[in-house]
């Protein structure tokens, strides 16, 4: 068997499949709406310093501007310390979205490698790792995150570590399942016969052909991690004031939510919209990557 021809055919088939996935994704109107919304939120986070000054608007307290209703000068109003809500929302977006993306990338990297090795090698290594993952999966995600942050201390770094650890078992199982579905294919055997190293086969042959479910799970996980980070900050175990984050903004607004509802409505809407739009994108990717659907 000519391994070079097999590799070329695989690459060409992969390119055709990618084009087909993009075409089908574009036909999904809800997915495109979600993509537009999350793109706008990402741009808002990236250009937060252009939209509003961090120190003056989001951090510095102004006692003479406490609890001002939304106006031309303060479109989202001010909080109990006189800080501009618009500034805190856009800079909070940078923290919330970054936590969602970074924790997903790190947990996917660690869990993906473990899952790929389990699916590729099987045997005793697979049994040990998967039983360990079963133990971790038996612990509720929020409870595990609370326990880790309580032990390490409520900082952004410890929150990132807690959320990452809580998601590694999920990615390990998803990747292992995807790898098992392709590990016995002919092109994998051809790569082995050609003398390719196991790590090279896993990274260049196995994972690229099992990437569909992994992408979908990763997309969905970003939304879940944004919600988890917001929840941890809301109970005081996440991002600490005065640094703005959507969850701790809700926490600080609890005492004034009845008299000044905009304090909870605006960050709450941001959390809901970001999670909803990412889930729309995830649903669109799932449909586009499903070969059983013909659009």
Q: Is 295 domain-assigned?
A: no
Take residue 261 and report the two structure tokens written for it. 């509802």
| β-sheet bridge partners, residue 84 | 78
Cis check: omega of the bond before 206, within 30 degrees of 0: no
Where residue 249 sits, what CATH number does that domain have? 1.10.3720.10
| Average pLDDT of every residue of the chain | 86
Question: Using CA atoms, how far apart are residues 136 and 132, in angstroms rounded to an integer?
Answer: 6
DSSP conformational letter for 32: H
Residues 236-241, mean pLDDT to the nearest whole number: 87
Q: Is 172 domain-assigned?
A: yes
Write the pLDDT tens digit of every residue in 126-159. Answer: 899 999 999 988 888 888 889 999 898 888 888 8
Write the pLDDT tens digit of every residue in 152-200. Answer: 888 888 888 989 998 899 999 988 888 887 777 777 777 777 777 777 7
Q: Give the distance between the most distant pair of CA atoms in the chain.
A: 79
Point out the least confidently predicted range of 211-215, 221-225, 242-246: 211-215
Alpha helices in the chain (DSSP H): 3-26, 29-46, 48-51, 85-121, 123-137, 141-152, 156-180, 186-193, 198-201, 211-234, 246-252, 262-289
Q: Is 233 domain-assigned?
A: yes
Between 246 and 8, residue with greater pLDDT: 246
Q: Is 274 domain-assigned?
A: yes
For residue 264, pLDDT over 50 is answered with yes
Q: Is 246 domain-assigned?
A: yes
For residue 2, pLDDT over 80 is answered with no
**How many distinct structural domains can be found in the chain?**
1
Helix (H, G, I), strand (E, B) or coil at 196: coil
Q: Is 64 domain-assigned?
A: yes
Query: Which sign does the torsion angle of CA 225, 210, 32, 106 carry?
Result: positive
Write the pLDDT tens digit of every residue in 47-63. Answer: 999 999 999 888 999 88
Q: Is 217 domain-assigned?
A: yes
Helix (H, G, I), strand (E, B) or coil at 73: coil
Query: Which sign does the torsion angle of CA 225, 290, 21, 293 carry?
Result: negative
Q: Is 140 domain-assigned?
A: yes
As a whole-number percent, the residues of the chain with pLDDT over 70 amount to 93
Question: Using CA atoms, how far apart are residues 274 and 88, in angstroms rounded to an integer?
Answer: 16
Residue 292's pLDDT is what?
56
Which residues contact residue 9 at a Cβ distance below 8 angstroms, ignoring those fewer than 6 apart? none
Question: Using CA atoms, how far apart are residues 212 and 143, in angstroms rounded to an integer?
Answer: 30
Structural domain that includes position 170: 3-289
Residue 273's pLDDT is what?
94
Residue 1's pLDDT is what?
47
């Amino acid at each position: 068997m000519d391994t070079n021809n097999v590799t070329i055919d695989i690459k060409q088939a992969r390119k055709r499949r990618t084009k087909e996935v993009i075409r089908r994704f574009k036909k999904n109107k809800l997915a495109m709406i979600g993509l537009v919304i999350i793109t706008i939120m990402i741009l808002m986070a990236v250009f937060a310093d252009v939209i509003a000054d961090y120190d003056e608007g989001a951090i510095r307290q102004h006692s003479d501007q406490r609890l001002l209703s939304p106006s031309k000068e303060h479109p989202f109003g001010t909080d109990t310390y006189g800080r501009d809500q618009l500034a805190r929302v856009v800079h909070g977006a940078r923290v919330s979205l970054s936590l969602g993306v970074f924790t997903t990338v790190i947990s996917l990297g660690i869990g993906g490698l473990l899952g790929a090795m389990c699916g590729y090698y099987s045997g005793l290594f697979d049994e040990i790792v998967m039983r360990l993952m079963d133990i971790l999966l038996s612990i509720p995600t929020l409870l595990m995150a609370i326990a880790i942050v309580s032990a390490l201390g409520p900082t952004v770094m410890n929150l990132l570590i807690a959320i990452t650890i809580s998601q590694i078992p999920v990615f390990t199982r998803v990747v292992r399942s995807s790898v098992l579905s392709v590990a016995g294919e002919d092109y994998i055997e051809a790569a082995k016969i050609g003398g390719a190293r196991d790590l090279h086969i896993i990274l260049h042959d196995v994972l690229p052909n099992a990437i569909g479910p992994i992408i979908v799970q990763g997309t969905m996980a970003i939304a879940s991690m944004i919600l988890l980070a917001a929840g941890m900050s809301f109970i005081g175990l996440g991002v600490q004031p005065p640094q703005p984050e959507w969850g701790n903004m809700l926490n600080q607004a609890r005492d004034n939510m009845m008299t000044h509802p905009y304090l909870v409505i605006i960050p709450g809407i941001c959390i809901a919209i970001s999670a909803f739009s990412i889930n729309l994108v995830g649903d669109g990717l799932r449909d586009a990557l499903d070969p059983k659907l013909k659009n």
